[in-house]
Structure 1
């Protein structure tokens, strides 16, 4: 157990060092000058001497490895730096925006589950029926439609034409419906096809045939054995596709002007706000690593044979 904990800790350290260094390198190589953001040259008249003096003071003229070392030293002290655009601590900006993104993510996952679970289950139980063909057609259409285009259609229908829902902002439950529905519908197509395929494979296993031969009720066979056996592939893909889900949240937040971490990072990229961008990448890297670790643990719980292969963990 101690060896496993030490290995996981080493993996986390190496993973974070790699991600932070690569992101730090690419951010600094991107066109644009953060000194212009700090001096607010769009509204104030600033000389070239002032810009160069600020670049020297902020260490922008130092080699990239030196700049990364300074950033890493501050990070080890839990200091992400201050935003170049607002002067506020970057960590506070991220944590203030994170709850809105979590709300939107959970809302979209709820929509996805409410659509995927019944449709995939009925498609697997009634294979090649009209319901199965309908659900497969919907999944193909959903995979082909971009999320931003679907969001524009929903805005036009429910906000412009019917006037039922707000189109932007975060002003309560009603403002979450359209963005959650948009992202939930966009990701449902992937998991609908995956869960259906996994359920069909599970229903063809020998232990399912044996259960039927023993007279176990069909509903119990499906929900207690086949459904549980079909979950690990779906959970694994969810962990792998978490980055795509986060990317989808960014698009939807910008489209609906939802004040989450996605909109924050888009604004920060436009303003070359390095501390906020670097903090965002770090937070997302830790989130992805934590989710993948949780997915691995959940798969080991659902499939005992994985625990045996992993040395009883």
Structure 2
């Protein structure tokens, strides 16, 4: 019964978030400078006259009162009919779903890099809490967290693509195309969470049950892995889930730099073209993904942590 209540509360939160975000997006787009009709005519090299602008605005439904446009949009959003793109004339949902696998692939790659960096640096600097290993690990974590993702992307392209020629610079193809964007996406996140994991592990090492385990003669490796890491990683799992939700929602900067054909790159093109249906559909799509991933993380904690069930 508690589980059903828990799940029901999260679903209500999902509905509230989607409704709020979609409404704000609709209103903000209407007050943003830029005429979709003018941009569309100019992009297609068509003569821009008042007659052509009025005709295209009427065709796109932009001449209707704002409350009529919002009512139609709300009805379409509730039925998952998000209209057609102004540019491609294809259904918005089809456009988003066709680019979602590329973004999901990049998000999984970035999450794996972040997980390896978090566990590697976090455990290393916690186990060797003094000496040159700890100093080097903390320095690497500090630099990884401080470097902006766009600057890190340019550095990696320069060294590993231009100078060494190991990896391609743009596009999506084999595994080699995924290496640089994944490291750019996950390195900074992993460096930040490594410091959190280190702090939590050091606090766990001072707990009485850890001292009792050492007194019983358990090996140091077993204590670190089965007890210290298990308890210290709980907050990190939540943070990684949040970061993964952001990655799946569209890593705009990374996708744009590496010309990755995902949602982030696509939404930049839609914003430049003032493609209202695509922007509004993307916001709903991303918010549903974001909240859904958070719900899954909460459910995992609900199942593995008995304190949440009492």
Q: TM-score range by the shorter chain?
A: over 0.9
Q: Is the 8 A contact 1:24 1:278 kept in 2?
A: yes
Q: Is the 8 A contact 1:147 1:248 kept in 2?
A: no
Are residue 284 (structure 1) and residue 286 (structure 2) matched? yes
Q: Is the 8 A contact 2:144 2:191 kept in 1?
A: yes
Q: Write the distance in 2 (CA, Å) between the matches of 1:222 and 1:286.
A: 37
TM-aligned CA distance change 1:228 to 1:300, over 3 Å: farther
Which residue is 1:213 aligned to?
215
**Quick check: 267-276 or 24-33, which moved more?**
24-33
2:251 match: secondary structure: helix
Corresponding residue to 1:294 among 263, 288, 296? 296
**Quick check: 68-77 or 53-62, which moved more?**
53-62
Corresponding residue to 2:168 among 166, 169, 172? 166
* Structure 2 residues not aligned, in runs of 5+: none
Corresponding residue to 2:265 among 263, 266, 275? 263
C-alpha deviation, 1:11, in angstroms: 2.4
Q: Write the distance in 1 (CA, Å) between the matches of 2:246 and 2:98.
A: 22
Q: Write the distance in 2 (CA, Å) between the matches of 1:49 and 1:141.
A: 57
Which residue is 2:105 aligned to?
103
Are residue 178 (structure 1) and residue 180 (structure 2) matched? yes
Q: Is the 8 A contact 2:125 2:134 kept in 1?
A: yes
C-alpha deviation, 1:168, in angstroms: 0.6
Are residue 274 (structure 1) and residue 266 (structure 2) matched? no
TM-aligned CA distance change 1:12 to 1:106, over 3 Å: same
Q: Write the distance in 2 (CA, Å) between the matches of 1:48 and 1:60.
A: 14
Matches within 5 A, 1:302-313: 302-308=304-310
Which residue is 2:24 aligned to?
22
Which residue is 2:37 aligned to?
35
Q: Write the distance in 1 (CA, Å) between the matches of 2:207 and 2:68.
A: 58
Instruction: State the TM-score, normalizing by the size of structure 1.
Output: 0.92
Which residue is 1:7 aligned to?
9
Instruction: State the TM-score, normalizing by the size of structure 2.
Output: 0.92
Q: Write the distance in 2 (CA, Å) between the matches of 1:53 and 1:207.
A: 75
Offset from partner CA, 1:37-77 (integer Å, 9 cap, x none): 44345511132122113223433133333212101112233
1:294 match: secondary structure: helix
**Quick check: 279-288 or 52-61, which moved more?**
52-61
Q: Is the 8 A contact 1:35 1:55 kept in 2?
A: yes
Are residue 60 (structure 1) and residue 55 (structure 2) matched? no
Corresponding residue to 2:155 among 134, 153, 156? 153
Q: Write the distance in 1 (CA, Å) between the matches of 2:249 and 2:141.
A: 20
1:80 match: secondary structure: coil
Are residue 120 (structure 1) and residue 122 (structure 2) matched? yes
Q: CA RMSD in A?
A: 1.9
